[in-house]
A and B are shown apart, each in its own frame.
Chain A
Amino acid sequence: MVKVGEYEVQEGLYYHSEHFWAKVEGDSVRFGATDYGQKALREVVFIELPKVGDEVSQNEAYGTVESVKAVIDLIAPVSGKIKEINEKLTDTPDLINNNPYGDGWLILVTPSKLDDELKNLMTFEAALTWYQELAKGG
């Protein structure tokens, strides 16, 4: 874990510019929200996730997350079919705040165009540079 300003960036993840991450785990990909995204949202109060078996497409919304001050779409970093959703978030949506790169993960998908689509995401190194900009911008 690296800290840029007040934001944590984790190694080994791919980053989407709408503040979500993707982690390749064998033949699956796990999605989550970044520390920056979580901090911008503040206290998450509600999350709406799709069902196992639903399809998601890169850069498209597949659910929503609502906090005390905001509501945003969950954007898929890559396309695929949902294998698993994080059931814990229904009762404890604040896991997204407390552990965005761990217990606060969102969904697990079987990717359909992984190799092509990963190119559209930022690597950890690219994300670091981007975070330096974000940390400045406030």
Chain B
Amino acid sequence: MPRKIVIIGANAAGSGVASAARKTDREAEITIIEREKYPAYSRCGLPFVLAGEISEFEKLIIFPLAWYKMMKLNLLTETTVQSIDVKEKSIMIKSADGKESTLPYDTLVLATGARSFIPPVKGYDKDGVLALRTIQDGIKFKEKMKSAKAAVIVGAGFIGLETAHALFENKINPIIVEMLPWICPTVFDQDTANIVQKKIEEHGIKVIVGKGVEEILGDTSVTGVKVAGETIPADMVLMATGVRSNTELAVQMGVELGITKAIKVNSRMATNISDVYSCGDCVESQNMLTGLIGMCQLGTTAVRQAKVAGTNAAGGYSVFPGVLGSSVSTFFGVEIGATGLTEFQATRLGLKPISGVVTSKTRADYFPGAKDIRVKIVAEPEFGRIIGCQIVAGEEVTQRVNMISAGIQKQMTIFELAKADTCYAPPVNETWEPIALAAEMAVAKLRR
């Protein structure tokens, strides 16, 4: 009898699971259940559709229906999993037409993801208060942009800032409100954040930090938001205030949640219930550096975990090594990226980190089109081990972040990085690689 694998959720994680499971077991009956209308699409691309860089939302579909057919995967869209019977090893599903049925499984994978978290500030349910997670959200946002005159973005993480840029491209200059003392607080220290903030402000966009939204004003529709007693007029408000894992099914079936209230898994992405795996935005992850458990709700994490979960669910063997939270983005003419810990986070964990900062160019100084690049390397002072980096540049950020990430994973020190063998040619890099220079600055501090 072929193995029956059931996957709940068909986005980045769920489709990745299906792919890995099929590669592991060519005979298995694989069913994927998704409550949305579309097969797997890139949520990450939503801000760029809004900005007009991508012509339509349908372009974001990464796994078209033909792919599921070709891979002999049974995809049920507009179908919701209602409940799971662990004893019987079956799930109850409800399709769009209201029909209910049950489906048996041998192994089950929860890839239920996350949903937007809207903090319960007064007035959050008014018309014009929006989130951005699904294509539906995107369509609504685009519609609203057509008539809106003024917008507020609540939350200055990557999604908030990418969407701020999309508004800017649509001739609406939003006001960005961040409750914490600086923007992108989970990936940047204040010095890095200040540079990025300046870049945003150069585009005529106001950024308010260290102040929360107290109330959303208006009758039924938004007319403004109240921040620190002051009223900011707005007819659309984006709540880019994070996400929460979808764990209802997990809880109902007895899958254990961890300290973060997301699903707890081991390194094979297995839950506490046998033959039940989980991955993606609905699980918590272990940090490779600190060993601490936390959330790392990124598309890259989802697909890497999915490959492991899918292989194991299909009878193979694979382990997930953990996360560093490497991330990258671009808006308002800069690329920004980070990996590992910030100086602030490291300090809070009790380390006494040192850092090296360098500002250089992305090409030879004399070469036309050379852009600024600022690199900050964070290290542990005793052994000089690299524990993080933050990069802001006009170009070429991604692979530098990836290099530092690989270095951290191999316990690289600033001494080694300062003398790393790097490449150069005038049109594409400076003679001295900026990340090596930043490491050298950190070394200098250590010797002082």
Contact = CB atoms under 8 A, between A and B. Distances in A.
Interface of A: 19, 37, 40-41, 64, 66, 69-73, 134, 137-138
A138 B70 contact: no
Contacts of A71: 19, 22-23, 26, 71
A138 B61 contact: yes
A71 B72 CA distance: 10
A12 B64 CA distance: 29
A70 B69 CA distance: 11
B70 A70 contact: yes
B67 A70 contact: yes
B99 to A, nearest CB: 25
B71 A138 contact: no
Contacts of A64: 26
A138 B64 contact: yes
B26 A134 contact: no
Contacts of B58: 138
B65 interface: yes
A134 to B, nearest CB: 7
Contacts of B66: 40, 134, 137-138
Contact of A19 (B23, B61, B70): B70
Secondary structure of the A side of the interface? Answer: mixed
A46 to B, nearest CB: 10
Contacts of A73: 26
Interface in B39-97: 58, 61, 63-67, 70-71
Contacts of A134: 66
> Which size bracket describes the interface of B in this complex?
10 to 19
8 contacts: A19-B70, A69-B67, A70-B19, A70-B22, A71-B23, A73-B26, A137-B65, A138-B61
Contacts of A41: 70
Nearest to A37: B70
A70 B71 contact: yes
Contacts of B64: 40, 138
A89 B350 CA distance: 55
A75 to B, nearest CB: 11
A55 B19 CA distance: 29
A134 B64 CA distance: 11
Interface in B1-25: 19, 22-23
Given A69-B67, A138-B58, 11 more contacts: A40-B70, A41-B70, A66-B23, A70-B19, A70-B22, A70-B67, A71-B22, A71-B26, A72-B70, A134-B66, A138-B61
A36 to B, nearest CB: 8
A41 B71 CA distance: 10
B65 A138 contact: yes
Contacts of B26: 64, 71, 73
Pick from B61, B64, B67 the residue with the most CB of A within 10 Å. Answer: B67
Contacts of A138: 58, 61, 64-66
Contact of B19 (A37, A69, A137): A69
Contacts of B65: 137-138
Contacts of B22: 70-71
A41 B22 CA distance: 14
Nearest to A71: B23
B251 to A, nearest CB: 32
Contacts of B71: 70-72
Contacts of A40: 64, 66-67, 70
Which 5 pairs from chain A and chain B are nearest by CB? A71-B23, A138-B64, A40-B66, A72-B70, A70-B71
A134 B63 CA distance: 15
A37 to B, nearest CB: 8
Nearest to B22: A71
A71 B22 CA distance: 7
Pick from B61, B64, B66 the residue with the most CB of A within 10 Å. Answer: B66
B380 to A, nearest CB: 36
A43 B188 CA distance: 36
Nearest to A36: B66
Contacts of A66: 23
Contacts of B23: 66, 71
A19 B70 CA distance: 9
A125 B143 CA distance: 43
A33 to B, nearest CB: 11
B20 to A, nearest CB: 10
Contacts of B61: 138
B27 to A, nearest CB: 11
Pick from A40, A73, A137 the residue with the most CB of B within 10 Å. Answer: A40
